């Protein structure tokens, strides 16, 4: 009896089509058929999540995302301004443009240089 109840619950969960990436983000209204999309494709999110700004969106389905942080330098007992820059996959449903604030999440390697995917465009920085 107990096992039957559990499987029924699982089936009900499957019927709800809404995807949850585990980041508390809303699914985009627009759809896409990109297999490398975190929302509509087969890419799963694992690892780190960052918020940054798009520095370049010149490549096809790719954006360069940059964000700044402060690094403590022990010798001078002060913080140094530093920044990180990574390439991230920009699926058609995201359409991140240069200057956009985006949320990127780490995933499996998508190409030689891409290991992140854009999961949200806009919002507070």
Shortest gap between Cβ of 22 and Zn ion (angstroms)?
17
d(CA 41, CA 39): 6
Residues 51-90 that bind Zn ion (CB under 5 A): none
Examine residue 93 and tell whether it contacts Zn ion (CB under 5 A): yes
Nearest CB to Zn ion, comparing residues 65 and 117: 117
Examine residue 91 and tell whether it contacts Zn ion (CB under 5 A): yes
DSSP β-bridge partners for residue 120: 103
Q: Which residues contact 38 (CB under 8 A, 6 or more apart)?
A: 21, 44, 45, 91, 105, 107, 117, 119
What is the x/- site pattern for Zn ion, positions 16-55, by CB under 5 A? ----------------x----x-xx---------------
What are the start-end ranges of the E strands in the chain?
A: 45-56, 62-73, 78-89, 101-107, 114-121
- The contact set with Zn ion (CB under 5 A) reads 32, 37, 39-40, 91, 93
């Amino acid at each position: 009896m107990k096992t039957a109840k559990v499987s029924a619950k699982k089936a009900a969960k499957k019927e709800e089509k809404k995807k949850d990436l585990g980041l508390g983000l809303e699914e985009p209204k627009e759809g896409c058929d990109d297999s490398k999309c975190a929302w509509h494709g087969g890419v799963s999110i694992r690892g780190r999540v960052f918020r940054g700004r798009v520095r370049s969106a010149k490549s096809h389905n790719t954006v360069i995302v940059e964000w700044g942080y402060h690094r403590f330098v022990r010798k001078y007992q002060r913080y140094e301004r530093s920044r990180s820059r990574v390439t991230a996959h920009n699926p058609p449903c995201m359409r991140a443009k240069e200057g956009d604030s985006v949320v990127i999440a780490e995933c499996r390697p998508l190409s030689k240089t891409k290991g992140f995917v854009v999961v949200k465009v806009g919002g507070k920085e």
